[in-house]
Amino acid sequence: MKWDHVIRNGYIVTTDRIYQGHIYVKDGKIAAISDQPLPGEAVEETDAAGRYILPGLIDVHVHSRDPGSTHKEDFYHSTQAAAAGGITTIFEMPNTNPPLNNVANYHKQVSNLETKAHVDFGIWAICLGHLNMQDIAELHRAGVIGFKFFWGYAVHSKTYQLIYNYKPEMEDVIPPFTDGEVYEIFREVAKTGQILAIHAESSDLIHHLTKQVEASGRRDYEAFLEGRPNLAEVVTVQTGIAFAKATGARLHILHVSTGEAVDLIKQAQAEGYPITAETCPHYLFLSNEDYPKIGPAMKVYPTVKYRADQDRLWEGIREGVISVACSDHAPHTEEEKAGDLWSIPAGMCGVETLAPLLLNAVHEQKLTLSQVVALLSENPAKLFGIYPQKGSLQVGTDADITIVDMERPFTIKQEELHSKSKVTAFDRFSGMGSPVATIVRGRTVMRDGKIVAGPTGRLVTPADVV
């Protein structure tokens, strides 16, 4: 036998065990897994002695801004960053320009991204209420990975771009949708059986409270949190769960940032409803206490909140209430992030630092390696209908593999990130545990932090499962 790639001598990690073995790849698939060497030559060999072999890691929440604001980021750079961080598959968010609101734009986006992708990718579709309700079923059949609704955001009536800070006097703008209109979105997506993911913040409450805080003249981070309090997430999560219960929608709560939301999701799960949740490193490792040191780079929506929320999020992971970790990678330029806290855009780089931060949490005994596999591989693949093709190490599935060295220290340096714009709240953060190889369908894309292959990533859809 002539193998395309053999990964030897590593510790293979699944969600329930770790064992030593060798993985053999042929035609982009895992052809064999053995605890003893198998005969045959290999085109490529990787010695993973002393290292851990993980199912290829997945980041379900990435904004590459392509097409659209490509001065901040593009898919070529974001997928290099993903590969550098050990990620083999990303899910691209739909608030591009044009947005992913119909099948024609979906096919255009597939063609656009395929030429730039260093890793495999799925594509989210956007829900714009009555503007594209008739397109939901067709988008589902076309192969989108899921549907996203930016709750509380207004929409430009001509470009269909989201308006993040809506004011009634704006021209050519459709105000945020009413609860009745949102209910119809839930009902329509429920018919497809796919995930409906929500950005859960009450813009009405935020607008009202922010005006009060601004009138006081305060501009500090605590005032900022008073304008965007925990309650803004809580009331939206409550309504979303109620709508999901009424419609049968498979609701996924994006970037959960509050302890109260964890409690609500846990209760709904206990009642048997298909409600799932994700969170991000900035909510797990940062709190309001870090703002004086980090500054505006820490501004994200939903906001980084309090230590009590951070503690409850970790508890939610241990309980299985939060089943997915992701980056919410959303770069802005240094110039854009250098202004006043209240006026600069929200978002930062994250796809390259997601895995190292969680591996360091293993070093700190907050997670196990098997839990990292669950959060970044198996759970997202199962949730979005691409398991076992992705998110597993099984014979016959895609040879997507992330090799990590748990004894290798790292220091995140903003200027060394592979993204086009490089702002991160974790600049100069040091830890232990690093991805050292990213293998996509048997092909090594990253080795020892360096990108060693060009774009060969492919589209992933729920219909691709073996």
What confidence tens digit (pLDDT) does each residue in 256-274 have? 999 999 999 999 999 999 9
The arithmetic mean of pLDDT across residues 405-420, rounded, is 98
Per-residue confidence (pLDDT) for residue 172, from 0 to 100: 85
The arithmetic mean of pLDDT across residues 96-100, rounded, is 96
Per-residue confidence (pLDDT) for residue 165, from 0 to 100: 75
Residue 232 lies in a domain: yes
What domain range is 360 assigned to? 56-389+408-427
Mean residue pLDDT across the chain = 96
Helix (H) or strand (E) holding 19: strand 18-26
pLDDT band at 464 (very low <50, low <70, confident <90, very high): low
Q: Is the pLDDT of residue 109 over 70?
A: yes
Whole-number Cα distances in Å, 352 to 262, 265, 371: 26, 28, 19
The arithmetic mean of pLDDT across residues 317-328, rounded, is 98
pLDDT band at 171 (very low <50, low <70, confident <90, very high): confident
Q: Is the pLDDT of residue 466 over 70?
A: no
At which residue do the structure tokens 């064999």 appear? 32
Residues, the chain, total?
A: 466
Helix (H) or strand (E) holding 269: helix 259-270
pLDDT tens-digit map of 355-397: 999 999 999 999 999 999 999 999 999 999 999 999 999 999 9
pLDDT band at 167 (very low <50, low <70, confident <90, very high): confident
- Cβ neighbour number for residue 2 with a 10 Å cutoff: 8
Assigned token pair, 177: 């949708």
Q: Cα–Cα–Cα angle for 29, 59, 186, nearest 5°?
A: 110
Higher pLDDT, 166 or 376: 376
Q: Quote the percentage of the chain above a pLDDT of 70.
A: 99
Beta bridge partners of 446: 438, 451
State how many domains the chain has: 1
Ordered DSSP codes for 58-98: EEEEE----SS-TTT--HHHHHHHHHHTTEEEEEE-S-SSS
Residue 395 lies in a domain: no
Q: Is the pLDDT of residue 154 over 90?
A: no
Residue 398 lies in a domain: no
Distance (Å, rounded) from C-alpha 151 to C-alpha 385? 24
Residue 303 lies in a domain: yes
Taking each helix axis as running N to C, give the angle between helix 230-247 and helix 203-216, from 0 to 180 degrees, rounded to the nearest 10.
Answer: 170
Distance (Å, rounded) from C-alpha 198 to C-alpha 254? 6
Assigned token pair, 105: 């734009």
> Where residue 128 sits, what CATH number does that domain have?
3.20.20.140
Per-residue confidence (pLDDT) for residue 465, from 0 to 100: 54
Among candidate residues 49, 159, 156, 46, the one with its CA nearest the CA of residue 98: 159
| CA 119 distance to own-chain centroid | 14
Residue 137 lies in a domain: yes
Whole-number Cα distances in Å, 442 to 25, 94, 399, 400, 457: 6, 29, 5, 6, 12
The arithmetic mean of pLDDT across residues 13-34, rounded, is 98
Identify the sign of the CA torsion 387, 239, 175, 303.
negative
Residue 161 lies in a domain: yes
Residue 9 lies in a domain: no
Residue 339 lies in a domain: yes
